[in-house]
Amino acid sequence: MNADVCAVVLAAGEGRRLRPLTEHLPKALCPVGNVPLLDRALQRVEHFGLDVAVNACYLGHMVVEHVGERAHLSVEPGDPLGTAGGLGLLRDWIGGRGVLVGNADAYLAAEDLAPGEDIAALLEGWDGHTARLLTVPGPPFEFGASRFAGFSLLPWDLVQDLRPEPSDLVRLAWRPAERQGRLEIVAYPGTYLDTGTPADYLAANLHAVHEKELVAEDAVVTGELAGAVIGAGARVEGRVHRGVVWPGGVVAAGETLTDAIRVGRELTVAAH
């Protein structure tokens, strides 16, 4: 792989639309198919053997502890700096290289393609000059007939002037590249969900298990499951239908969890 490309996984956001789930975990660490979203993103970029950085801010100590030695860590002071501001804080680390940028909260799955292989077209034959966006067809039609699907590739000249201040890549990198005629749209050959709402978060979990059941090895299930993801150490004595039970969560006898996420014993977040 080209040594002039590095990768940054953005994991600093507050995940406000996913509250109250994100009052317990940063969005990047919310599990999908019993795997934290951040781990899915790291697996995808690690496929290419690139130097990797992760930014953190909201509940940043959790992200830092989770990442450990796996990547360079950039902890943003105060409030999250946004997608462009986060890269601005990492500008010295990026140091003249192109950068593959991934949103930790992007759920991507392509049939018959392993993580990394499914976004390989972003890097194949790259000239180091164009900006590339991974997209899927459909509204809100951000770029032609498509919308952004969580990953982009940026040349250094679009990164070098970014500052560590609240700002976004749409305004400071992607649209300028589009106006200059050097924005390439790369179609993603699978399913993309941004997991930004409880409904999309539940949909990502159910897609990850093919609408079937996934039970962690140390979970205890004596109740009934029908389309469910049950986390480590969870206990299900009741019924879970199209639901997610987080690690350590409990669905007691006589309870039915439907189209919802359970955290602990009492927090139920409806996926509407």
Q: Return the structure tokens found at 186.
A: 């790369």
Kindly report the length of the chain.
272
pLDDT digits (tens, 9 = 90+) for 118-147: 999 999 999 999 999 999 998 888 998 999
204 with 189: CB under 8 angstroms? no
Q: How far apart are CA 243 and CA 23, in angstroms?
A: 19
Output the DSSP codes for 176-233: HHHHTT-EEEEE-SSEEE---SHHHHHHHHHHHTTTSEEE-TT-EE-SEEEEEEE-TT
The predicted pLDDT at position 50 comes to: 95
Task: Assess contact for 104 and 38: CB atoms under 8 A.
Answer: yes
Statement: residue 259 has pLDDT above 70: yes
State residue 1's pLDDT score.
44
Helix (H), strand (E) counts: the chain: 7, 19
**Which pTM does this prediction carry?**
0.94
Give the C-alpha separation, 57 to 61, whole Å: 8
pLDDT, tens digit (0-9, with 9 covering 90-100), for 54-82 = 999 999 999 999 999 999 999 999 999 99
pLDDT per position as a tens digit, 7-17: 999 999 999 99
- Domain spans in the chain, listed from the N-terminal domain onward: 5-193, 209-270
Q: For the chain, what percent of residues have pLDDT higher than 70?
A: 99
According to CATH, the topology of domain 5-193 is Spore Coat Polysaccharide Biosynthesis Protein SpsA; Chain A (3.90.550)
Residue whose C-alpha is closest to residue 202's, from 260, 248, 266: 260
* Of 36, 103, 64, 104, the residue nearest 246 (C-alpha): 36
CA gap 113, 119 in Å, rounded = 9
pLDDT at 2: 52
Q: Quick one: average pLDDT of 182-208?
A: 96
Measured in degrees and rounded to the nearest 5, phi and psi for residue 231 equal: -80, 175
Give the CA distances from residue 218 to residues 210, 231, 253, 266, in Å, rounded to whole numbers and listed in that order: 21, 8, 19, 21
Q: Per-residue confidence at 3, pLDDT binned at 50, 70, 90? A: low
Mean pLDDT, the chain, integer:
95
* The residue type at 14: E
Quote the CA–CA distance of 259 and 270 in Å, as a whole number. Answer: 6
* DSSP letter assigned to residue 143: B
pLDDT (tens digit, 9 = 90+) per residue, 210-237? Answer: 999 999 999 999 999 999 999 999 999 9
Q: What distances in angstroms separate CA 26 from CA 13, 130, 271, one per listed residue?
A: 8, 32, 18
